[in-house]
Amino acid sequence: MATPRHALRHALDSSTAGLPTGSLQSAGASRPGFRARLRSGLVLGVAAGACAGLITVPGVAAADPGPADLTRMVADAGHQLEVISEQVNQARIQADQQHASADQADKAAAEAQSRVDGMTSQVTQIARSAYTTGDVSRLNAMLTSRSAKDFVAQMGTLDAIAGHQSSVLSQVTATAKAAEKARTKADQAAADATKTLADVSAKQSQLSAQIADYKKQYAALTAPQQQAVTVAAAGRAVAPPGAPVAAPGQGAQAAVNTALAQVGKPYVYGASGPNAFDCSGLTMYAWAAAGRALPHNAAAQMGMGTPVSRDQLQPGDLVFFYSPVSHVGMYIGNGQMVHASTEGVPVQVVNLASMPNYTGATRIG
């Protein structure tokens, strides 16, 4: 049975056969060593996600989809790429956290080992004392005591020394166990981070192929169909505000000003500025200008602020789309938002009402 992907390829080939070329448009080992590999692997751009296979678009008949169906299929494929891109961003966050955990565990293991090493001299002294004195200490105390009271005092001193020695040995044992546990934790954290990096790297070429295939699908549409795809995925574009947008508070004002200053810059999967952006990369970049650090993931950003209803939106609020959340933009007032939407569409201002699948909003205070 032909997959929807194969059906789309066949339908595109059939629907564009004989069209003049002018009707088609192209679309735009040691820890330090481990850290270096991790960083280099993560800056390769769009890398991986939860998608294990090629993009397919369900819900469309396999045979001869019409122009409207083709438009919807390509638009859906573009959205699926954004879903995967946001999953990639989440994987990057996870890898960074695992890398930080590995560094912390390494430090803890080194500190624990240092404490063990520092107690070595005390253990050696205890062993030497036990070897040279044997069990004669109490006999010597009895023979050299001038009175019963003196004998009791000496015995108390010997017991205190023995108690101290026992305490030291207990500390050494506990510290050695802690050091071993810390080393095990460091090794596990490093293994987790290495596995995440391997998963990311293994799927990079697959996602890159999907992006390239989407561009071909988009380019095979007519100009009106391409426009319909753009509106379906990115909303209906409007001119940026002619006057400065007044936002409540200095932070929101800085974020709005920064986001609007990026209008016209290209959309690139996994990008967070300053020359290109994906959706969560743009909002992260804008709020960073206000001194607020947001994660590079739309769903994670939704959990960062205070939920706000649609009728209470203010400039600077983040607005989210789809379920599960896979797209984010910034509200700028007057029923409009600015966002980095999809492949081939630059950062732009659109009417919020034209965006599909509104999910909710949050205010970053």
Sign for the pseudo-dihedral over CA of 347, 353, 358, 364: positive
**279 in active site:** yes
What is the SS3 assignment for 320? Answer: strand
Q: How far apart are the first and last CA of the chain?
A: 52
Contact 218, 140 (CB under 8 A): no
Catalytic residue among 79, 99, 296, 327: 327
Strand arrangement of the beta sheet that strand 358-363 belongs to = 237-238, 348-351, 336-339, 327-333, 318-321, 358-363, 306-308
Residue 54 is classified by DSSP as -
327 counts as catalytic: yes
Long-range contacts of 64-72 (CB under 8 A, 24+ apart): 64/11, 64/14, 65/7, 65/8, 65/11, 67/15, 67/222, 67/225, 69/11, 70/8, 70/11, 70/12, 70/15, 70/221, 70/225, 71/221, 71/225, 71/228, 71/229, 71/232, 72/232
Tell the residue number behind the tokens 């697959």, with chain if given.
206
Strands 306-308 and 348-351, sheet pairing: unpaired
Which position among 79, 99, 296, 339 bears the catalytic label?
339
d(CA 70, CA 301): 33
Q: Is residue 339 annotated as a catalytic residue, yes or no?
A: yes
Catalytic residue among 79, 99, 279, 296: 279
Rounded to 10 degrees, the C-alpha dihedral 330/76/325/345 comes to -20
What are the DSSP calls for 227-291, one per residue? HHHHHHHH--EEPPPSSPPP-SSHHHHHHHHHHHTTTTPPB-TT-BSSS-B-HHHHHHHHHHTTT
**Catalytic residue set:** 279, 327, 339
